[in-house]
Amino acid sequence: MSKSLNPSAIRSRELIIQALLLLMENKRYESITISEIVYEAQLVRKTFYRHFVNKDAVLNEYVNLLFSQYINLLKSSNCHNVQQSAVVYFEFWSNNIAFLKVLQKNDLLHFILNKYDELLPLINKMFPCKKTANSIEQEYSISYSTGGYWNILCKWIDRDFIESPTEMARIYENIVLHSIIDE
């Protein structure tokens, strides 16, 4: 379970991740074994367990990698409003459609939700809002945002990504800024 920066260790982790993702395309996640993963990766079990405790840890590492890429994209995109950050969000996920579909097929989208719960407070600090809310309101606001992003992403997946990332950003902006939901 080391996170060695040794190039060989990094390569082994990458091979294990890619093997799991490849196997998930044709086989249910719960039926994939560690033996199958290491066989596909052309590694030995000892190497697997040197880096991961189980296949959930492998999937978590890949989700962590994706969210690191997303955060770096957000930082470099110089977003100044809801619409701009939503475009980045939906463009990012549109570049990872195959992974989202595999997660959905295996009932594993909760891996994304869990990462949202962990990272949205950090992302929120990167882009502080102009309104000053007390810490309790801020916590609820972050939870609200997590649920919104999560459910809109799930609906977009269910609709097979019919709308473009730009259209999804417009929809999200309308919901957030203009609450199109009738009370």
Residues 27 and 111 in one domain: no
Residue 172 forms part of a structural domain: yes
Residues 30 and 73 in one domain: no
Residues 21 and 67 in one domain: no
Residues 40 and 107 in one domain: no
Residues 105 and 166 in one domain: yes
Residues 34 and 67 in one domain: no
Residue 39 forms part of a structural domain: yes
Residue 1 forms part of a structural domain: no
Residues 80 and 154 in one domain: yes
Say which amino acid occupies 94: S
Question: pLDDT in tens for each of the 183 residues of the chain?
Answer: 557 778 999 999 999 999 999 999 999 999 999 999 999 999 999 999 999 999 999 999 999 999 999 999 988 988 777 788 889 999 999 999 999 999 999 999 999 999 988 887 777 777 665 555 677 887 787 788 888 888 999 999 999 999 999 999 999 988 887 765 544
Residues 168 and 148 in one domain: yes
Two tokens at 30? 């719960």
Residue 15 belongs to what domain range? 7-50
Q: What CATH number does the domain containing 16 carry?
A: 1.10.10
Two tokens at 133? 């809310």
Residue 136 forms part of a structural domain: yes
Question: Please, is 180 exposed, middle or buried when counting C-beta atoms within 10 Å of its C-beta (0-12, 13-18, 19+)?
Answer: exposed
Residues 140 and 80 in one domain: yes
Q: How far apart are CA 57 and CA 33, in angstroms?
A: 13
> CA 183 → CA 85, 169, 171, 176, 179, distances in Å?
27, 23, 18, 15, 10
Residue 55 forms part of a structural domain: no
User: What predicted TM-score, i.e. pTM, was given to this entire model?
Assistant: 0.87
Residues 66 and 131 in one domain: yes
Residues 125 and 165 in one domain: yes
Residues 13 and 99 in one domain: no
Q: Do the beta carbons of residue 177 and residue 82 sit within 8 Å?
A: yes
> CA 84 → CA 58, 73, 77, distances in Å?
32, 12, 9
For the chain, the domain total comes to: 2
